[in-house]
C-alpha cells in the first residue's frame, strides 16, 4: 500500500506539472491570438499590406533567429542535464544494494527481507524520479513555448506599430510635442453659408494608432469651444494638450477626431493625431 501511495503521489505531481504547462500555453495563445486579430484588422482596413507583413516577418526572423536559437539550446541543455542526473542507477543506489547483499551474506538478514527492502527502495526512487523528470519535461515544453510566444508577440507588436493610422491620409489636426510639455495648434474654421452659424467643438476618445490598449478621453483644451461665425467669415480654434508622461508613450501615435457641430446642422469629424516625443528632461 505504501508503494501504491508513492506512485499515486508521483502521478498527482505529473498531472500538476502538466496542468501548469497547459495554463501557461493557454495564456500565451490568448495574448498572441488577440494581437493576431488586431493585425488582421489592420490588413482589412488597409493599414497594413500583406506584402509588408511578409517582408517584415523575414526581417524579424533574420534579426532574432540567433537569439531564439540560443534560448532553445539552453532549455534543451537543462533538460539533458536533468536526465543525466537521474538517481535510479546512481552510485548511491548501487552502494545501498551492495550493502544489503553483504548483510545477507553475513547472515544479518534473510534474502526475502532484503528483496522486499530493495524493491521498496527501488520503487520509492522510481516514483520520485518519475515526478522529477515529468516536471523537467513540462518545464522544457514551457520554455520552448515561451520562446515561440515571445517571438510571436514581439513580431505582431512591431507589425501593429508600423500600421498606418486611420484617417491620416488628408487634412487633420495634429498635436506634436515633447512629453512634459504642452502641444498646441490652431484650426481655421470657415462659414461658407450666407447666414450666421454657431459652431460647437468637442473631442472624441483617442487610442493608440496600433490599436493596442483601451481608448481614453484626452484632456484637450479647445479655445473657444463655441464659436459664432458671421456669413462667409473665418475664425481660429485653439487646440492644446499637456502631454502627460503617465498617459502618453513617446514614439507612439494616438488618433481620434475633432467634432465640429453646426447648430441645427450636421457634424463634421476631423481626424486628430497626437504624436508625443521624448522629454528633454528624460
Tens of pLDDT, residues 108-137: 666 666 666 666 666 666 777 888 888 899
Q: Which of 112, 128, 161 is the last residue of a domain?
A: 161
For residue 207, give the H/E element and its range. strand 207-208
How many structural domains compose the chain? Answer: 2
Establish if 91 belongs to a structural domain: yes
Residues 74 and 213 reside in one and the same domain = no
Q: What is Dmax (Cα atoms) for the chain?
A: 121
11 band by pLDDT with thresholds 50, 70 and 90 = confident
For residue 271, give the H/E element and its range. strand 267-277
Indicate which CATH number applies to the domain containing 204: 2.60.40.10
What is residue 168's predicted lDDT score, i.e. its pLDDT? 42
Establish if 206 belongs to a structural domain: yes
Q: Which domain holds residue 249?
A: 173-277
pLDDT, tens only, 46-86: 667 788 888 888 888 888 899 999 999 999 999 888 887 77
Q: Which of 105, 133, 161 is the last residue of a domain?
A: 161
pLDDT, tens only, 236-256: 999 999 999 999 998 888 988
Establish if 150 belongs to a structural domain: yes
pTM recorded for the entire structure: 0.53
Average pLDDT for 177-199: 87
Residues 142 and 29 reside in one and the same domain = yes
Residues 155 and 180 reside in one and the same domain = no
2 versus 161: the higher-pLDDT residue is 161
What is residue 167's predicted lDDT score, i.e. its pLDDT? 45
Residues 9 and 147 reside in one and the same domain = yes
Q: Which of 136, 161, 186 is the last residue of a domain?
A: 161
Strand 234-242 relative to strand 221-223, pairing? antiparallel
Residues 224 and 270 reside in one and the same domain = yes
Amino acid at each position: 500500500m505504501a508503494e501504491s501511495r508513492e506512485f499515486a503521489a508521483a502521478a498527482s505531481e505529473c498531472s500538476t506539472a502538466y496542468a501548469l504547462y497547459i495554463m501557461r500555453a493557454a495564456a500565451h495563445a490568448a495574448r498572441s491570438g488577440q494581437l493576431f486579430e488586431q493585425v488582421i484588422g489592420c490588413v482589412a482596413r488597409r493599414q497594413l499590406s500583406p506584402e509588408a507583413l511578409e517582408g517584415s516577418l523575414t526581417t524579424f526572423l533574420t534579426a532574432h533567429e540567433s537569439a531564439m536559437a540560443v534560448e532553445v539550446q539552453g532549455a534543451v541543455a537543462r533538460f539533458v542535464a536533468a536526465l543525466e542526473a537521474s538517481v535510479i542507477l546512481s552510485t548511491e543506489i548501487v552502494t545501498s544494494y551492495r550493502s544489503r547483499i553483504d548483510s545477507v551474506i553475513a547472515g544479518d538478514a534473510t534474502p526475502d527481507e532484503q528483496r522486499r527492502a530493495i524493491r521498496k527502495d527501488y520503487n520509492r526512487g522510481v516514483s520520485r524520479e518519475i515526478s522529477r523528470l515529468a516536471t523537467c519535461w513540462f518545464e522544457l515544453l514551457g520554455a520552448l513555448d515561451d520562446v515561440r510566444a515571445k517571438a510571436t508577440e514581439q513580431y505582431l507588436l512591431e507589425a501593429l506599430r508600423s500600421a498606418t493610422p486611420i484617417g491620416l491620409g488628408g487634412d487633420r489636426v495634429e498635436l506634436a510635442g515633447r512629453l512634459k510639455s504642452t502641444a498646441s495648434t490652431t484650426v481655421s474654421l470657415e462659414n461658407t453659408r450666407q447666414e450666421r452659424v454657431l459652431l460647437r467643438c468637442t473631442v472624441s476618445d483617442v487610442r493608440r494608432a496600433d490599436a493596442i490598449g483601451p481608448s481614453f478621453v484626452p484632456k484637450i483644451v479647445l479655445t473657444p469651444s463655441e464659436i459664432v461665425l458671421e456669413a462667409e467669415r473665418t475664425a481660429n480654434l485653439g487646440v492644446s494638450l499637456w502631454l502627460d508622461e503617465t498617459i502618453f508613450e513617446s514614439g507612439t501615435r494616438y488618433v481620434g477626431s475633432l467634432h465640429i457641430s453646426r447648430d441645427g446642422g450636421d457634424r463634421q469629424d476631423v481626424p486628430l493625431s497626437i504624436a508625443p516625443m521624448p522629454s528633454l528632461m528624460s
